[in-house]
Amino acid sequence: MSRYLFFIAFIPLLLISGIVSSQELNCRVQISTPGMHEQDRQIMQTLRTEITEFMNQRNWTNYQFQPNERIEASILITIDDKEGQDFYKGTIQVQSRRPVFNSSYSSPVLNINDRSFQFRYRENEPLEYSDNTFSSNLTSVLAFYAYIIIGFDFDTFTPMGGTPYFEKAQNVVNAAQNASESGWKSHEGQRNRYWLVENIFNTQYRPIREALYQYHRLGFDKMVENVDLARGNVTEALELLQKAHRQRPGSYLMQIIMTTKNDELVNVYSEAPTREQNSAIDILTEIDPSNASKYREISRQ
């Protein structure tokens, strides 16, 4: 069954029937170990295999995904430092994408570079996790991003469809409030897991989530049928982002969206009529001023 039919037509049926799920993610995992000894690199290769299994062989939802419907995602962990025998520090970059209807193109949905990633790991130690329980920072971070990936994906197929999985991610954050590792608490900065969930549920930023559906389902999924109409719907998605920005600028959620989408948006509007280009450039430079020079190139292509 097509993912589009699956998400749009059968969500109520699945909620009622309680169909046994199959795994949702097709997540590729890489671990970069610059400067580490060969023995540590081998340990990290074992960890890479275990993380791959953790992400891809666990049921994160109650829905049934066919193998070709699994959400495409990737995780890149970079180890910057090791303390003692089993404590590692580094970063984790999480990306996901979703197919565009009637196209071979996949649109990026998520691109997060989390710089507060620390964990303990001993080779061949099982990765244990249970919802609402903090077992380890490693598995809690992985579970958090599994739910974030799924939540964002569902938001692109149905309005606010990712809410149940964002609630799961919020539960992970709540369970981690007494963790010694950073990234979970409000006072540790405005760009961490705590604030990502806060932004997702903050009503002032609701238009950002609404824009995900407008952008993908009403925009990109319609490109093959009518490119002008579809691009107009993408512009309406940008107006939703602008609305959220004006209500409360500088959100972490907005930063993630624009980091994920800026190159794609330049491509979308490069062939648009001049008036439409100028409108898009005005909105994009307002909500994402750090990439203003990139957006100005739209009218020069």
Please tell me whether residues 17 and 50 are part of one structural domain: yes
Instruction: State the pLDDT at residue 35.
Output: 83
Please tell me whether residues 174 and 296 are part of one structural domain: no
Please tell me whether residues 116 and 3 are part of one structural domain: yes
The SS3 assignment for 65 reads coil
In the listed set 160, 185, 201, which residue is the last one of a domain according to the structure? 201
Domains in the chain, number: 2
In the listed set 201, 230, 263, which residue is the last one of a domain according to the structure? 201
Please tell me whether residues 169 and 251 are part of one structural domain: no
Half-sphere exposure of 232 (CA within 13 A, CB side): 4
The SS3 assignment for 34 reads coil
Instruction: State the pLDDT at residue 244.
Output: 98
> Who contacts 38 (Cβ-Cβ below 8 Å, separation ≥6)?
none
Mode of pairing for the β-strands spanning 71-83 and 25-32: parallel
In the listed set 166, 201, 236, which residue is the last one of a domain according to the structure? 201
Please tell me whether residues 61 and 119 are part of one structural domain: yes
Please tell me whether residues 62 and 6 are part of one structural domain: yes
pLDDT in tens, 101-130: 999 999 999 999 999 999 999 999 999 999
Structure tokens that stand for 126 in this block: 């099982």
Please tell me whether residues 233 and 86 are part of one structural domain: no
Please tell me whether residues 93 and 240 are part of one structural domain: no
Please tell me whether residues 146 and 253 are part of one structural domain: no
pLDDT in tens, 8-67: 444 443 333 333 446 899 999 999 999 889 999 999 999 999 999 999 999 999 988 888
Instruction: State the pLDDT at residue 114.
Output: 98
Domain interval for residue 291: 207-301
Instruction: State the pLDDT at residue 301.
Output: 63
CA 198/CA 236 separation, integer angstroms: 25
Please tell me whether residues 230 and 277 are part of one structural domain: yes
Q: How many residues are present in the chain?
A: 301
Instruction: State the pLDDT at residue 300.
Output: 81
Beta strands in the chain (DSSP E): 25-32, 71-83, 87-99, 106-120
> Who contacts 70 (Cβ-Cβ below 8 Å, separation ≥6)?
23, 24, 25, 26
Query: Which regions in the chain score pLDDT beneath 50?
Result: 1-2, 4-21
Ramachandran sector of residue 74 (left: φ over 0; alpha: ψ -120 to 50; beta: rest):
beta
Please tell me whether residues 238 and 163 are part of one structural domain: no
Please tell me whether residues 259 and 153 are part of one structural domain: no
Instruction: State the pLDDT at residue 22.
Output: 64
- Contacts by residues 167-173 (CB-CB < 8 Å, ≥ 24 positions apart): 168/60, 168/131, 169/144, 169/193, 169/197, 169/200, 170/197, 170/201, 171/131, 171/132, 172/131, 172/140, 172/143, 172/144, 172/147, 173/144, 173/197
Burial (CB < 10 A; 0-12, 13-18, 19+), residue 83, is exposed
